[in-house]
Chains A and B, each alone.
Chain A
Amino acid sequence: MDRRIRVLLAKPGLDGHDQGAKVVVRALMDAGFEVIYTGLRQTPEAVANAALEEGVDVIGLSSMAGSHLPFCRKLRVLLERHELTDRLWLVGGNIPAQDHDALRELGVKGVFAAGSKLDDIVTFIKANVQ
């Protein structure tokens, strides 16, 4: 790999709990990735557009307030439209176990529920970015 891995980290929807997202941003920066953090209140359109414009390898969402499934269903359509389904799609935060399969079916490659280790996220990205 001759350039740094670029990661988009977004806070989807109206949820304002960003402590975890910001911790992950810092960990990914320390791991040598280039991280674009969107801040709060991102729509599916905003996330897809940012991923396209920034040419990222990884699209990460951090969700704590339970609206991850409806959000990801909408984002999936946009990722297809913009031909972004080859990017590594990750979701983290407060994600109940019963939702993991549904997320994977939408194309999410890694689900990092609260309690996941920062190193595991870094290792997963390194192993899965083409």
Chain B
Amino acid sequence: MSERKAKDLRPVVNESGIAIQPVYSAADVEASGGLDMLGLPGEYPFTRGIHPLMYRKRPWTMRQYAGFGNPHETNKRFQYLIANGQTGLNVAFDLPTQCGLDSDDPLAEGEVGRVGMAIDSLRDMEIAFDGIDLDQITVSLTINGSAAILIAMYLAMAEKRGYDLKQLRGTAQNDILKEYVGRGTWIFPVEASVRLVGDTIEYCAAEAPRYTPVSVCGYHIRESGATPVQEIAYAFCIAKAYADDALKRGLAVDEFAGRLSFNLNIFGNIFEQVCKFRAARGLWAKIMKEEYGAEQPESMWLRMIAGGGGGGLTFEQPETNIVRGAYYALISALSGTQTMALCSYDEAYTIPTEYSARISLRTMQLLIEEMGLCDTVDPLGGSYYVETLTNQLRTDIAATMAEVDARGGIVKLISEGIIQAEVSAQAYRMHKAIESGQFRKVGVNCYRVEEADKPVEFHPHKDDDAQLQIDSLNRIRSERDDGAVAAALDRLRADAIAKRNVMPALMEAVKAYASVGEMTKALVEVYGRYQEPIRF
């Protein structure tokens, strides 16, 4: 193509603000920083993958987000997904559980079992995982505000079933800082919440060293409107805040850093997404090695679940979301993720049906079985475009992180609502770009159909479930030893006041069948409640 013709092309700028050339060459790779950060898979700085053989040795874990109604129904869905080849579980809790409320709390009315499973006590946890081998199927708990309580419940349930906590694997999301930016299931003020995360990291490092107590989320920050660069930059700043808290407690970096993981988002431009993950892997390794002095490779690994993001799905022509999901899964596989989850095509509307969840599972299995995605590691590595964009994104992510630090650090900026305002301003810009047609969205601002969309068969919400759950909670309350519950809650309050690690007291309380609401209330009495800063 002549230069003159190239100049006439319309400019292309990706979501991260990087101008995209029509053609790339070795000179562009060199100009963007060369191949110093490339290396080999399984070797520092791990840009190409954290393991030398990646999927050739073992495909990614398939972990669809699931849970609704009561623990009995959720257990059935878990069994269904496992029977269909799912290799991990990703547990959805209802909003009362996530906000630390019992199912009979007046604030829970209308919300019990609606967007996830209701859990009130250890008994519910026992029912939910009944018959599931926790050594074979690793479990990820999507829980944040009340995470310390639910982690204690999970560990107590596993212990009761005879698992050795020293060997038990699993993950809790437990990333409270991002809840203030997006997703919103906070309970306690920022400082106390970060200390609670630290309690879980410290406790697990000693008692359940193979358990991953935190999965730092860029995912929801991106869903709230952040660009891919902001997604990674803010997530890394948040991860560093947790790491700093752990160091302050006297833990050595290699004692906990290998058990941090990440939950990152996929929607949008294929190359921008793949390069985002490659860039992030190299940068995280560099931060852990150079800033934190990590020596173990595991401490430098960016282990991640990378999921097909709900933010990319459309209400319009919902069946096209099946295709979007397939591309997101392809991106995830090309990016070298450890675990994959896909939003199902009906998830713009509601939680997925059995049928749509199976389509998502089959989408991932197709890549493994038919499409050759597990044959070779980092198949896009070495492409001029991919290496240039990876370098550019790494530079931009690092610059955004430096900016956050220069403005007082992520905890301060989140406490004051500044990050929230920036992300919502970006969401507004994107929304207007979609409405104007400047940013194309198929079925939304182009290729619309005027006839009504085919109705999607929704997952039915059963109002009776709430009453069943409340009856079950009342049964637990009448059967348990109230003296033991009261003593455990007193200890919990005392430990929280003294700023001791509250996890041992929580373990005692959950084993006495204290409820989520009771334990949360005890902590609120000490910590208070978060007041959301409103800033635009």
Min CB distance B218 to A, Å, is 15
Assess A39 versus B115: contact at CB under 8 Å? Given A13-B95, A14-B95, A17-B183.
no
**Among the listed stretches B104-112, B357-365, B499-507, which one makes contact with chain A, having 4 or more residues with CB under 8 Å of it?**
B104-112
Which chain A residues in 52-69 approach chain B with CB under 8 Å? 65-67, 69
Q: Which residues of A contact B432 (CB under 8 A)?
A: 118
B378 at the A/B interface (Cβ < 8 Å)? no
Min CB distance A121 to B, Å, is 12
- The number of residues on chain B lying at the interface, defined by a beta carbon within 8 Å of a beta carbon of chain A, is 39
Assess A118 versus B431: contact at CB under 8 Å? Given A14-B95, A15-B95, A65-B114.
yes
Assess A65 versus B224: contact at CB under 8 Å? Given A14-B95, A16-B184, A22-B428.
no
From B224, B349, B424, A94 is in contact (CB under 8 Å) with B349
Q: Which residues of A contact B185 (CB under 8 A)?
A: 14, 16
Assess A70 versus B427: contact at CB under 8 Å? Given A29-B536, A96-B349.
no
From B98, B109, B114, A66 is in contact (CB under 8 Å) with B114
Tally of A-B residue pairs with Cβ under 8 A? Answer: 90
- A19 & B223 in contact (Cβ 8 Å cutoff): yes
Q: Which of A19, A29, A67, A94 has the most CB of B within 10 A?
A: A19
Find the A residue at minimum CB distance from B95. A14
Min CB distance A87 to B, Å, is 21
**Among the listed stretches A77-85, A100-108, A109-117, which one makes contact with chain B, having 4 or more residues with CB under 8 Å of it?**
A109-117
| Chain B contact residues, majority secondary structure | loop
| Chain A contact residues, majority secondary structure | loop
Report the separation of the CA atoms of residues A94 and B456 in the bound assembly, to the nearest whole angstrom: 14
A37 at the A/B interface (Cβ < 8 Å)? yes
- The number of residues on chain A lying at the interface, defined by a beta carbon within 8 Å of a beta carbon of chain B, is 32
A23 at the A/B interface (Cβ < 8 Å)? yes
Min CB distance A104 to B, Å, is 19
Report the separation of the CA atoms of residues A69 and B463 in the bound assembly, to the nearest whole angstrom: 12
Chain B residues with CB under 8 Å of chain A are: 95-96, 98-99, 101, 107-111, 114-115, 179, 182-185, 223-225, 314-316, 348-350, 424-425, 427-428, 431-432, 435, 444, 458, 461, 532, 534, 536
Chain A residues with CB under 8 Å of chain B are: 13-19, 22-23, 25-27, 29, 37, 39-41, 43, 65-67, 69-71, 94, 96, 113-115, 117-119
A-B contact pairs, 9 of them (CB 8 A): A14-B95, A17-B183, A18-B424, A19-B424, A37-B536, A39-B534, A70-B110, A71-B110, A115-B444
The 3 closest A-B pairs by CB, nearest first: A16-B184, A70-B110, A14-B95
4 A-B pairs besides A23-B428, A41-B99, A71-B110 with CB distance below 8 A are: A14-B111, A29-B536, A96-B349, A115-B315
